Structures are given as C-alpha cells and as structure tokens.
Amino acid sequence: MFKKIILVFFVLIIVLVGLGYFKVYQPYLKIKAKGQILMASSQQLKAVFKKNNIDLIKKQIDEITSKYKEFKKETQSIAWLEFVPQVKDFQNGIIAGDYLLKAAKDTVVAIAPYADLIGFKKGEASFVEKSAEDRLQTAVLTLDKMLQKIDIISEDIKNAEDRINTIDTNRYPEKIGKTVVRERLVNAKEQFTGLASMFVEAKPFLKKLPVILGKDKEQIYLLLFQNDKEKRATGGFLTAYAIFRIKDGKMRIERSNDIYSLDASIANHPAAPDDILTYHKGVSQFYIRDSNLSPDFAESVKLFDSLYQKSNIKIEYDGIIAIDTKILVDMLSIFGDTEVRGIRFSADIDKRCNCPQVIYKLLDEIDRPVGYVKEDRKGILGDLMYALFYKAIGFPPSKYWGTLAQTMLRNLEEKHILLNFTDSEVQKSIEKLNYAGRIKEYNNDYLHVNNVNFAGAKSNLFVTESLISKAKTQGDSIEKELTVEFRNPYPASDCNLERGGLCLNAQLRNWIRVYVPRGSTLIDFQGSEMKVKTYEELGKTVFGGFLKVNPEGIAKVIIKYRLPKAIKLDKYSILVQKQPGAQKGKLKVEIDGKTIYDGLLEKDIEAKK
C-alpha cells in the first residue's frame, strides 16, 4: 500500500512537472522570444522618429503592429492561468497595447496632411515647398477633418489607461535577484498615466485650434514683450507690444510700438497700488508698464486691461500672448542673424555681458543715455520682432519649423510664453496644458517664490537664484525651512548718466513673495529689509518681504513656517511652480534629511517622497 502511494505520488509529480514544462515553461520561453523581437522593433521606432519622416514612422508602426499580433497570439497559451493575479495584469497590459497601437496608427493618419508644419518630411522629399503662411492657410481650412479623429484617439488612450490602472504594483516583489521590479513597474505606470493625461488635457486645445487660427472669424491678438532682465511677477518689465491679426491662418502685424507710447495714450492714470508705493522707487501712478503685478498671469491681464481700456488707441482683442527675451534668442538661433535699422542682431555670446549679443545690443540701443533725441528707442524691439515673425512664416516649413515648433513648445512649458484668451473655452483648454501662467491648486505642500525688480536696472541679467526647501516632522505637524539665495558675481556697471554709461548691473531692489499652502503659519523670516507681510491671495498664504542684492554680492532670506496639519509626511509631495521668465534657477527639496529633488527649476516641478 505504501509503495502504491509513493508510486502515485511520483506519477503526479511527473505529470505536474510535465504540465508545468509544456503548459507554462515552454509557453513562457516562446512568449519571451516574441517579446524580445517586439521590443527590438519598438526600440527602432525611437531612431525612426529622429529622422522626422512621417512615412518611415507609419511603416515602423505597421511593423510593430505585425510583431505585436504574433506576440499576442503566443500569449494565448497561458490564458488558462488568468486566475493568477500577475497573469491577469499581463493580460490587461496586452489589451492596453491593442488600444495604444490603434491610437498611434490613427494619430499618424490624422497628422500626415499637416506633418510639415511640425517638422516632418514625407518620403524622400519634403512636402510641397510653399511658405509656412500658405501651408498654415491650407491646414486651417482642412483641420476639421483631422479633429474628427481626436475623440476616437482619446477614447483609445483612455481605455488603455483604464487597463493599466488595474495593475496593482504592490503585489510584485521589489527585486528578483539583482533586477529591480516594483520600482520599474511604478515608474512605467506613472509615466504612462502622465502621457495619457497630457493627451486628454490637450484635446480641448486641439479642438479649439481652428478658432485660435482664425477659421471663419478673424482673431486679433496683443503681443506683449517682457524684459526678464528686469524681472517682474509674470516674467519681466513690459517693454513693447504689437497687434497682429490672423484669418484662416494668414497672419499680419498691424502695428508695434514701445509700451511708453501706450501709457502716453491714457489721459489720466490712477494712483499706484500700495505694493508699488511701498516697494518701487519714485512711482506714484499706475502705469500699464507696471501692471503685471500678480504672479498669476490671468490676474495680471485683468490689471493690464483695466488700464488698457482707458487708452484712446485701444482695440478689442481676442487674446494676449506674452513673450520674453529667450524667444528672441531662440528665433535668432534658428533663423540666423537679422538686421533691423542697420543693426545686426545675433544669438552669439557677447563678452561685454556674457549674454547673447541681441540682449546687449537692444539694451544698448534702448537704455544708454545719449546727447541727442533718439526717436522711438524701444520701437526697435518691435521692429526686430516684426522681422523675425516674417522670417518664420516666409520659409517653407520643412526648413525650420520642426526645430521652431519643438523650441516653442518647450518655451510654453518653461513659461517663456504665456497665453490668455477672452474665449472662456479656449482659456480653459490652455490652462489644462499649463500654458496660461496660473497659480495652481494643489492638495499637498506647495511653493512658489516670486521676485520683482523695482528700480534695480537690468541686474537680473547677472543674478542667479537657488531655492532649498526642507521639511521635517515636528510633533503632529510639518515644519518647513526655505532658503532663497541670490548671487551676483559681476562688477557694477557705469551708471553715471553724464558719462553716458550703460547701466545694466546695479543694486537689485527685490520685492519677494513666497506662496505656500493656505493656513500655513509663519515662524520666522530672516533677510527682509522691510516689515514682513503675511496675507492670503490666490488660494495661498503669502509671506512678503524686500531685500537688496549688490553687484559682486550675495543675499538670502531664510523662512521658517508650519504647514497645515492636513498635510502629512507619510503621503508628502510638493508642487514647486517656477516664476515665468526665470532661467537657470536651482531647486533642492529635502524631507527629513532625504533629498527627493536636486536640479534646475526650468518648469513646474512635482516631487514626491
């Protein structure tokens, strides 16, 4: 009897091992082999994208689809194991892949007629070599056909996201041997969710593109130039403006001028707000050039418009686009040197300021005192913008527009371009993409440091800023310590007006505001030369102060405060919003001594524990 039991036992083991080998291990090897082939094909897509050829991309997606079908067919051999949670996750991933491939194919088909406008080629040759303006007009008239596919693509991406979200990463080990498993799954899931959300958020904007580009009705936009070398709340001192019109993709600049001419068109300026009276120097009236006081661009636009409506040269507009000096530098880098009024402008570094030549030359033309009347000094900026604009729309898209489109998208993300529209639906669409310069709501820790240069020359050309945010548990709450350091390693400029010096680097007079979660309590504020103010604004608690930064000097503020008790360290995350126009700022975030972010603050940063 005992021998029979042992025999049956061994027979069962042999059967189970056999089943395991033929039903699990062998299928696993085959699935792995097909998966490696699929991965290799997918990796090739990255290389194909770099060639910017829409036909090659379509061909590679077709190849991936073919390999994916073979891979999916092989996975059917383990379908009977779907009661195992990990296998069920695998199957959901397979279904998500189906949706994503369909979305990718539909996207390529949808953008193909307009691909040259975003830098793609078609086959061995470029698209028909028309000017960008002509191509834009054609695109606007046919955009509706492309947009019909947006809902279908969006639905496929949403379905894929739903499948991916069913995967519970906690059921996977942190490591298998030396291979990191769980962290890779978590990162992959978060990256996909972020990309899916980005597309869903972009959909309303894409659907509004015909309206923005003037289909059926002409659109009028105000273009505001912000000089970020004289930093203001939304990026920089308002220096110049232009009015341009767009109808069915055809654009023309109606006029451009310096901001002082716009201020001069207002008969009576109201008294300056308290913040200007407190922190500015010798300014008692409220001017358009000082109207971008709020760090929230939409709120600053309201202040701008309250004054603009008093102008005798005002026009009704459909939107405002604000740009800073980085846009000029980038466009000169793409299109090459440009001559205006007999002056050559370039993006090359000028040793006199260790900055792009265009920056120095513009400041030299506009700000250097001379012994004669120089008509329309700041108008040269408008003329340069005008010249670059017509360069952009005059070339065939295949020549420059790939680089231009990618550069401008990055500048939107980094807040060197800010958008505001009077159409509420269009405005909502760009706010979802974070292109509107809004102060955002966030259900955890939050930080935005806003600096305003009031009568401190163009010293922001030379001053660098760094933020160090430290959080630590203190009893049942979290205490924060924020250090904001300003460094100006360059010597002072010759600011003697009689000698005709170009006053660029002088003492920076800096109004600083720190926006933190509403309900935060200030413990200490060191480094302010004026009385610190605490108040609520834009859904945040604000700590306001004032300091000066000298050439070849360092200044800092150290702020300690307590977060609301609703914010817990075990679920801690922080959103740090970058100030528009700022460049090369540094950010370090620590939680109980552990660094969770250490890098540049080039765009809004979300850091998690």
Does residue 306 share a domain with residue 166?
Answer: no
CA 563 to chain centre: 27
Q: Is residue 1 part of a domain?
A: no
Does residue 519 share a domain with residue 489?
Answer: yes
Q: Which residue has the higher pLDDT, 278 or 370?
A: 278
Does residue 373 share a domain with residue 344?
Answer: yes
Provide the Cα torsion 42, 48, 50, 52; round to 10°. -130
The pLDDT of residue 75 is 66
Asked whether residue 83 carries a pLDDT value surpassing 70, the answer given is: no
Q: Is residue 361 part of a domain?
A: yes
Does residue 252 share a domain with residue 388?
Answer: yes
Residues 204-212 have a mean pLDDT of: 86
Q: Which residue has the higher pLDDT, 474 or 90?
A: 474
pLDDT in tens, 9-63: 343 433 333 333 334 445 555 555 655 665 666 677 677 767 767 788 888 888 8
Q: Of the ranges 89-98, 385-394, 446-455, which one carries the lowest mean pLDDT score? A: 89-98
Read off the pLDDT band of 118 (50, 70, 90).
low
Asked whether residue 86 carries a pLDDT value surpassing 90, the answer given is: no
Please answer whether residues 262 and 241 qualify as being in contact, where contact means their C-beta atoms are separated by less than 8 angstroms.
Answer: yes
Does residue 479 share a domain with residue 356?
Answer: no
Does residue 193 share a domain with residue 97?
Answer: yes
Helix residue ranges, H only, 471-544: none
Q: Is residue 537 part of a domain?
A: yes
Share of the chain above pLDDT 90, in %: 49
Read off the pLDDT band of 5 (50, 70, 90).
very low
- How many residues comprise the chain? 609
The pLDDT of residue 77 is 65
E strand or H helix at 350: strand 349-350
Composition of the chain by helix, strand, coil, percent to 5: 45, 25, 30
Other Cβ atoms within 10 Å of 177 Cβ, number: 7
Q: Is the dihedral of CA 116, 121, 126, 128 positive or negative?
A: negative
Q: Is residue 423 part of a domain?
A: no
pLDDT in tens, 337-367: 999 888 999 999 999 999 999 999 988 887 6
The domain boundary, picked from 206, 230, 252, lies at 206
Closest among 301, 307, 306 to 287, alpha carbons compared: 307
Distances from the Cα of 541 to the Cα of 436, 448, 480, 522, 535, angstroms: 21, 11, 14, 9, 6
- Contacts of 263-267 spanning 24+ positions with Cβ under 8 A: 263/287, 263/288, 263/289, 265/311, 265/312, 265/313, 265/314, 266/307, 266/310, 266/311, 266/312, 267/310, 267/312
Does residue 306 share a domain with residue 174?
Answer: no
Does residue 317 share a domain with residue 225?
Answer: yes
Q: Which residue has the higher pLDDT, 94 or 29?
A: 94
Q: Which residue has the higher pLDDT, 543 or 200?
A: 543
Q: Which residues pair with 478 in a beta bridge?
A: 473
Q: Of the ranges 123-127, 199-203, 388-392, 508-512, which one carries the lowest mean pLDDT score? A: 123-127
> 84 is written with which tokens?
């195992």
Alpha carbon distance 586, 508 (integer Å): 19
The pLDDT of residue 570 is 86
Q: Of the ranges 63-72, 229-238, 506-515, 557-566, which one carries the lowest mean pLDDT score? A: 63-72
The pLDDT of residue 472 is 94
CB half-sphere exposure, 398, CA atoms < 13 A: 15
Q: Which residues pair with 356 in a beta bridge?
A: 349
pLDDT in tens, 306-324: 999 999 999 999 999 999 9
pLDDT in tens, 400-447: 777 888 899 999 999 999 999 999 999 999 999 999 999 999 999 999
Please answer whether residues 427 and 478 qualify as being in contact, where contact means their C-beta atoms are separated by less than 8 angstroms.
Answer: no
Q: Which residue has the higher pLDDT, 579 or 181?
A: 579
The pLDDT of residue 379 is 67
Q: Is residue 344 part of a domain?
A: yes
The domain boundary, picked from 206, 231, 261, lies at 206
Does residue 288 share a domain with residue 247?
Answer: yes
Counted domains in the chain: 3
Q: Is residue 160 part of a domain?
A: yes
Bridge pairing between strands 573-576 and 605-608? antiparallel
CA 27 to chain centre: 45
pLDDT in tens, 463-483: 999 999 999 998 889 999 999
Residues 145-154 have a mean pLDDT of: 78
Alpha carbon distance 141, 237 (integer Å): 38
E-only strand ranges, 206-313:
219-227, 237-247, 250-258
The domain boundary, picked from 206, 231, 262, lies at 206
3-state secondary structure 357-383: HHHHHHHHHHHCCCCCCCCCCCHHHHH
The pLDDT of residue 60 is 80
Does residue 323 share a domain with residue 250?
Answer: yes
Q: Is residue 416 part of a domain?
A: no
Does residue 228 share a domain with residue 189?
Answer: no
Q: Which residues pair with 219 in a beta bridge?
A: 246
The pLDDT of residue 94 is 74
Bridge pairing between strands 464-474 and 586-591? parallel
Does residue 486 share a domain with residue 579?
Answer: yes
Q: What is the CATH number of the domain that holds 584?
A: 2.60.40
Please answer whether residues 310 and 268 qualify as being in contact, where contact means their C-beta atoms are separated by less than 8 angstroms.
Answer: yes
The pLDDT of residue 15 is 36
Q: Which residue has the higher pLDDT, 284 or 189?
A: 284
**What domain range includes position 330?**
219-394
Alpha carbon distance 18, 530 (integer Å): 81
Residues 516-544 have a mean pLDDT of: 98
| 281: three-class secondary structure by DSSP | coil
The pLDDT of residue 11 is 39
E strand or H helix at 8: helix 2-19
Asked whether residue 2 carries a pLDDT value surpassing 50, the answer given is: no
Q: Is residue 212 part of a domain?
A: no
Read off the pLDDT band of 143 (50, 70, 90).
confident
